[in-house]
A and B are shown apart, each in its own frame.
Chain A
Amino acid sequence: MSEAYDEFCRQIEVCASLTDLQAMGTARILVKEAGLDAKTATAAQLAVVASKLLPRQLEFLGVKRGDGVAAKIGAALSAAAPAAGAKSAPEAVFRRLGGNA
């Protein structure tokens, strides 16, 4: 798993007061729904996932003020050191193949 993904799981667990299993399950569902790969997902991508998909999932889990929690997680991910995007993800390769190296 990417460092950003691990951080995403940790943030969900802490900020939404979920168990580690619930947090990992939530992250897994969201990453799949977003078409990302947990091994290559970046903090920037997961911040978008947190803002656009996480509120609904938190609501489903019965977490109060899910919007605020999701915004907090998104902000934490955005503030994290911007790790370089995975060079090996297919989308990164095809971006480079267009000449955007």
Chain B
Amino acid sequence: MSVAAFEACATAVFILTGFAVGLRLLLLARRTREIPELALGGGLFLIVGIGYPIYLVAATAPGLSLEGARRLAILSTVCLNPGMLAVFVFTWRVFRPEARWAALLAACVGVALALLTVVRVQELASLQDRTTLLQPTDVLLIIYTLAGMSYLWSSVEAFLCHGRLRRQLALGLIEPVVANRVLLWATGSMFALLSDAPVLVAGLLRVPFEDLVTVRLMSSLAGLGCGAALYLAFFPPRFYLRRLAGREATA
């Protein structure tokens, strides 16, 4: 299998999983009217389910006109940036609901992303060559940095929370599947960061990402890992649930 084919498969798995999980959580939010499921579902749906695939189409679909690419790239931007903010809101509301610094961070990121969206839309409106969509500009690098921060923060908080939940698990205060879901979210967020980081670093070093085959492979693997973690966390297959239950029984 070529690198391009592997990348395509990994990307497809990532997008399908993100779309399904995001949609499922949004439907859950409609029922529960709670912020965390709305934020996480909205974030995953807007970033992975809609924004990312639209951007890929804008940048790579054959036969697409420049005007069509511009419109799609703008649509993708107005999906991706609010999606990123939603991940920040999720982390704040779930792990640090009473911390002022967390609320302030989410508010600052919200303002920054709003401004970056305006600037990026203006940048895209004057796009002259659609192949440059894959080359990160300064604005895009700042957006990537904020995206990386959102995954890093969520991952660290979830790992810390899992450490606490392991103690609850030992006393039988929590179901293994719930503790495991927190761990999978922590892992999935870390994979999302690892998938995002090479693009960011290549952009900062002004190295064309397309030329870095090994890095592209690592980024795709991380994307695949993120998709797998999301799948196991939110659509756990029976064998996986049995394994978790078995582990509890032998503990």
Contacts and interface: CB of A to CB of B under 8 A. Distances in A.
A32 B200 CA distance: 39
Contact of A45 (B163, B173, B181): B173
B21 to A, nearest CB: 9
Interface in A23-65: 33-37, 39, 45, 48-49, 52-53
A91 interface: yes
Nearest to B169: A35
Interface in A82-101: 87-88, 90-91, 93-99, 101
Interface in B126-169: 161, 163-169
Contact of A36 (B40, B95, B168, B178): B168
Contacts, number: 76
A97 B165 contact: no
B177 A97 contact: no
A40 B65 CA distance: 55
A45 B171 CA distance: 9
A88 B97 contact: yes
19 contacts: A35-B163, A35-B165, A35-B167, A35-B169, A35-B171, A36-B164, A37-B164, A48-B172, A49-B171, A90-B94, A90-B95, A91-B168, A91-B179, A93-B36, A93-B94, A96-B32, A96-B36, A97-B28, A101-B31
The 10 closest A-B pairs by CB, nearest first: A35-B167, A35-B164, A35-B168, A93-B36, A95-B178, A94-B181, A101-B32, A90-B161, A93-B94, A94-B182
Interface of A: 33-37, 39, 45, 48-49, 52-53, 87-88, 90-91, 93-99, 101
